[in-house]
Every structure is written in structure tokens, then in C-alpha cells.
Chain A
Amino acid sequence: DTAVSQTPKYLVTQMGNDKSIKCEQNLGHDTMYWYKQDSKKFLKIMFSYNNKELIINETVPNRFSPKSPDKAHLNLHINSLELGDSAVYFCASSQVTGGSTDTQYFGPGTRLTVL
């Protein structure tokens, strides 16, 4: 009964490759997020989708493209991977209603290493 799941858990790849990370939530939430946590442990928002609509798009290279096929899924595709993309990527979801912000539930993270 996993709430927010991500695959893969670990991803090791060469510079220049293209890779995708998948995220699914079974909480019935309407909003999903992608965060990046770098080696200094700082958690930075990248994107969010509310009911499949892009809401937050922080200053992220356009090599990163999120896709939300439905409100339970938010995938992240990364083109032309660079060394600096190495980090842990967390997916999260929450129910955002009437302007309030409910608890965000995080997935277990995907540890990406670019060689």
C-alpha cells in the first residue's frame, strides 16, 4: 500500500544519455511535485502539476521535462545528462484545496549518478 512510489531507486548512467524517472501516487491527491536534493542536502522544487496542469516551473534547464499523463502520475525525463545532474530526485504529492497547503508526502527518492 505504498503511497508515493518512484522508479528506479538508483540510476547510474553516462554523461550525454537520456533517462526517465517515474512517479505514482495512490493517495488521490491533485498535486504532484519534483524536487532535487543535491550533495549539500538542499531540497529545491523543480516542478509541480495540479490536475495535470503545470503550476510551478522553477529555473530548471530545459533538458528536464516533466510529463503528467494523469493526476496520479508525474514522470521526469532528462536529456543529455550532465555531471551536475547527479543528485537525489524526490517526487511528492499533496491535496491542495481552497488555497490551503496540506501535507506533502514524498516518495523514497531516485539517486541519480552521472559518470
Chain B
Amino acid sequence: RKEVEQDPGPFNVPEGATVAFNCTYSNSASQSFFWYRQDCRKEPKLLMSVYSSGNEDGRFTAQLNRASQYISLLIRDSKLSDSATYLCVVNRGSTLGRLYFGRGTQLTVWP
């Protein structure tokens, strides 16, 4: 079983739509969680960290369910510029700096 599993999509949504991505992780001892964004032919960049109580950054909301080992990302009022691949990332805390990346979920927002 992979450390981090995501639905690869693609998700194709119109501008203004709300879209949700899910991710599961296999190691219950995992300590910290992130969503990264990767534009086509570019490097991954941190979108947001995910906290136990859930957190919001503008149109983006991240949730963590430790009991189910499940992470989600909700994007409201989608913009064309949100088109990218969203990577779910987990730190087990067992090795210095070691992050585990999901395969990514591809999102295309159309006008």
C-alpha cells in the first residue's frame, strides 16, 4: 500500500465551481500534513499546511481526520488560475525532513 493515495482525476470544473480533493495516508504515526500545488512543467510549491482543527486560506479549506487517516482540500469559487496538480504530502516524523508525496490530483478549471 502506498504511503499517500490520491484520486488522480482529472477533475474538470467550470469557473465558480466548488471542488474537493481527498487523500488517505497509511501510517497512523504521521505528524504533519500539507497540500502542494504543481503547475504544468513547473516545480511543486506549498499551498497550505493542514492542521488538526482544519484551516482556511481564502478560498481554500483543508481538513484532517486522524482517526480515518484522511485529508481533504476544498476549493470554492474556482478560478482559471487554480488549474494545476494538487499534491497531498505527509511527514511521518521518522526521518529528518522526509516527506511522502501523493501522485497528485489534476484540476482543470474551464471558462
Chain A residues with CB under 8 Å of chain B are 31, 33, 40-45, 48, 50, 55-56, 90, 94, 96, 99-101, 103-104, 106-109
Contact = CB atoms under 8 A, between A and B. Distances in A.
Contacts, number: 56
A96 B85 contact: no
B97 A108 contact: no
Interface residues of B, number: 20
Given A41-B103, A101-B32, A96 B42 contact: no
Interface of B: 31-32, 34, 42-46, 85, 87, 91, 93, 95-99, 101, 103-104
B101 A101 contact: no
B96 A96 contact: yes
A80 to B, nearest CB: 27
